[in-house]
Amino acid sequence: MEKITIFTPTYNRAHTLPNLYSSLKAQTTKNFIWLIVDDGSQDSTNSLIKSWIEENSIKIEYYQQENYGKSMAHNKGVELTKTELFTCVDSDDFLISTAIEDIIKHWDHRENLTVVGILTYKGLVNGKSITAMENTYIKSTTLKNAYSKLGLVGDTMLVFRTDILSKYKFPYYQGEKFVPEAYLYDLIDQDGELLIFPHILYICEYLDDGYTNNMAKLLSENPKGYISFIKKRLTIDTSFNDIILDTIRYTAMCIFSNENKYIANSIYPVLTFITYPLGYLLYFRRYSRYSPLR
């Protein structure tokens, strides 16, 4: 049985998928499954992937669903995964040729058998890393601790144990198609630490219409998903500074979504009331231009 599933959610990305496919065919090990969840594509994605399945160069599993968004595609991908490990590679990105072999070797030689996955680096096509961490001597850590205490900056490639990941799902809200990925990461942090593998394995292509370049707009279009993430994070925040900042973010999105009971429904009602002016300022600066009331 294959060791790891490379999961790719895709929506109208027939023009970028060939780069990822080529990188997977070039892997130094074939000990993986490429699982594609097609989130209602209207382009040539279907025929393209079926032609690759016929080529039989790598093992491909293909699932089609209606356009529910990346979060629901992720839920389906985890549900369909049968391998020990799971990682997401977006449809506009690709892997270096030794990525899967490096991941499997590092995993199989781990000393701590209770870790929940691997944290490794991402880079750009020009070879520049977009991930850095000050304390590189650390062998394992939770993701939140890496960002808050170990000097981790930038985006990362995350590999998870499927049995851990399958315990959690993104919530679904009618009319919305996105919940921040950190919703799951915060939950997984409660189960254990990630091995640190400080090498670039994942190459990013940030497209103009991608999630990363449109995050503020994306969050404003999916306020319930964002509010659920912030409320979940507030239940596990331990730093008072984090509690204040997340309460301000919560208030800003509640103002945007015209949530009248945001104080009563907040995790910290008194703090929410006190920090309202800062929440409104954040709303005005980041989200007000997307407001349907304008």
Domain boundaries, the chain: 4-210, 214-290
Domain 4-210 CATH (choose: 3.40.50.2300, 3.90.550.10, 3.90.950.10, 3.30.70.580): 3.90.550.10
What is the average per-residue pLDDT within 180-197?
Answer: 96
Q: What is the pLDDT of residue 1?
A: 85
pTM above 0.85, yes or no: yes
In the chain, the DSSP E strands lie at 4-10, 32-39, 60-65, 85-88, 94-95, 117-124, 140-141, 156-161, 194-204
Long-range contacts, stretch 111-115, CB < 8 angstroms, 24+ apart: 111/139, 112/139, 112/140, 112/193, 112/195, 114/192, 114/193, 115/140, 115/192, 115/193, 115/194, 115/195
Q: What is the pLDDT of residue 287?
A: 81
What is the average per-residue pLDDT within 221-239?
Answer: 92
pLDDT of 215 strictly over 90: no
Pick from 6-10, 51-55, 78-82, 222-226: least confident? 222-226
What is the average per-residue pLDDT within 3-20?
Answer: 97
Beta pairing, strands 85-88 & 156-161: antiparallel
Pick from 28-42, 169-183, 195-209: least confident? 195-209
Q: What is the pLDDT of residue 294?
A: 45
Pick from 37-41, 76-80, 164-168, 204-208: least confident? 204-208
What is the average per-residue pLDDT within 241-245?
Answer: 94
Confidence band of 292 (pLDDT split at 50, 70, 90) = low
Q: What is the pLDDT of residue 238?
A: 81
